[in-house]
A and B are shown apart, each in its own frame.
Chain A
């Protein structure tokens, strides 16, 4: 029985070594004493790697640590309302408006845009290649009901899912009744997972261009872009600060430094120059909205993502008038 004693000793020693090493490692990593800013963000921005490029430059410039929490737009807004985020980066104007109206958000700025794409198998059983969004969705429903096509939906209340619902109602259907049809599948997970399912089932789905290119470029999916561009597929990304009056203790000052950085020429340049497999994924929006008032895209953005003719109604602005000097 005595021989068991060394086991005990060695175990304790191991435990002490592990915890000592870990603690010293941890203390060294937090001893920098920086200011921190928590940003709840949509996965399509984070998973492409854009925010890491922004984080790198921002942290060189300011003594503020950026903490990105990458979740869907729905959860990002939940985080902000509970006070667990100082800023949100999202892409669902209808949800953003509710967030502003509930008093939780202030100083919304549109920072970038791109286009969603409808992707599907090369063989394109529903025959939607090159059609308008409305026509394409009608054909998919047709083909689905005939049993020759499947649609894969995110079903997770993300920004992309919100867009999908809008597109269905635009084409004269309702997402909530379609989802019970046998050819209509809900993954309830992120864009990447949904693309993999669509690829596996040879189905159609709505995707943001960034995630699609990443997966396509890495050879993980064979789906092709069948419907692209066009007003209906517009995808607009906004940044919103959490209102310190409504949610006490949020880091409003640093949130505004971050928003100003994102909307500055430097921040916009990072967005413009960010490429995946040689493609630009996001188009900067700030300068465009300020200067090219008459371009087609600006009209589209105004129709889709403006509230009462402005990106942020006056009552939801708080200090920092320089953000809105158009």
Chain B
């Protein structure tokens, strides 16, 4: 600010305001960066030291979202292939519905399922609310449209060309469809991975149906939400980094496989 002394008062004031603003922004930024760096250190510490509650939430996240993804594969892949491959009346409408459901808000879905699974709700007799199974079912419903849409698109992208090519090479109808499936397989695996990522990163369903019960339904995202409300930002960021690591690792493995 020393060189500003000679300048006119107006300019000086303006400059000092600018400087002050930039200091505030600078401070804010460095504070944020240091918090994230602290979070990163914390995350590494938590992983190395094997903090039981963090490991517990991490394994539960993988188990719950992994189970939901596997479950969904059973009906979504065949359905996606059907929609992508076969021409049937109303196909566009069905596809449109699945595409629209991609935007399902997780808290809304969680609330609807809560009302169903609540002890006084129609499915209350199952006593499933506040168990990991409830979260698995909720996430399964959440990610079904993702897997169906992505699979259908994957098949549609390759179907006409590969089918024609296979047929010109003398393949039968079933051989041609098998060729289409094989060609679309990397994209279908991507659909599965994307579904898993969506499931493990969502909060609304896990919170509403699981209740974030320590040692039973506490997963990574609900722990992040809890620690944030408790003001433990460092731990919350550490857990976010663990969540991201899982997602990154999975994407990395898929990419490696795809390249092979």
Contacts and interface: CB of A to CB of B under 8 A. Distances in A.
Given A192-B229, A249-B119, A22 B67 contact: yes
A300 interface: no
Nearest to B127: A249
Interface in A188-235: 190-193, 211, 214-215, 218, 220
A82 B118 contact: yes
A192 B179 contact: no
> Does more than half of chain B's interface fall in helix, strand or loop, or is it mixed?
helix
B220 to A, nearest CB: 14
Nearest to A212: B231
Contact of A67 (B66, B216, B253, B257): B216
- What class of interface size applies to chain A in its complex with B? 35 or more
A7 B119 contact: no
Contact of A25 (B63, B121, B186): B63
B229 A83 contact: no
Interface string B198-225: 0000000000000111111000000000
Contacts of B228: 192
Contacts of A23: 63, 67
Given A11-B257, A19-B67, A67 B233 contact: no
A3 B62 CA distance: 29
Main secondary structure of the interface of A (DSSP, over half): helix
Contacts of B70: 15, 19
B231 A215 contact: yes
A19 B66 contact: yes
Contacts of B229: 43, 47, 190-193
B141 interface: no
Contacts of B129: 84
Contacts of B63: 18-19, 21-23, 25-26
15 contacts: A7-B257, A11-B189, A15-B70, A18-B66, A19-B63, A26-B63, A38-B211, A55-B214, A67-B216, A68-B213, A68-B214, A69-B130, A83-B124, A84-B130, A192-B228
Given A23-B63, A49-B230, A192-B231, 11 more contacts: A1-B182, A7-B258, A18-B62, A22-B66, A23-B67, A29-B215, A67-B130, A82-B118, A84-B129, A192-B230, A218-B233
Q: Which 4 A-B pairs rank lowest in CB-CB distance, beginning with the nearest?
A: A22-B63, A83-B119, A69-B211, A67-B213
Interface of B: 59-60, 62-64, 66-67, 70, 118-121, 124, 129-130, 132, 179, 182-183, 185-186, 189, 192, 211-216, 226, 228-233, 253, 257-258, 260
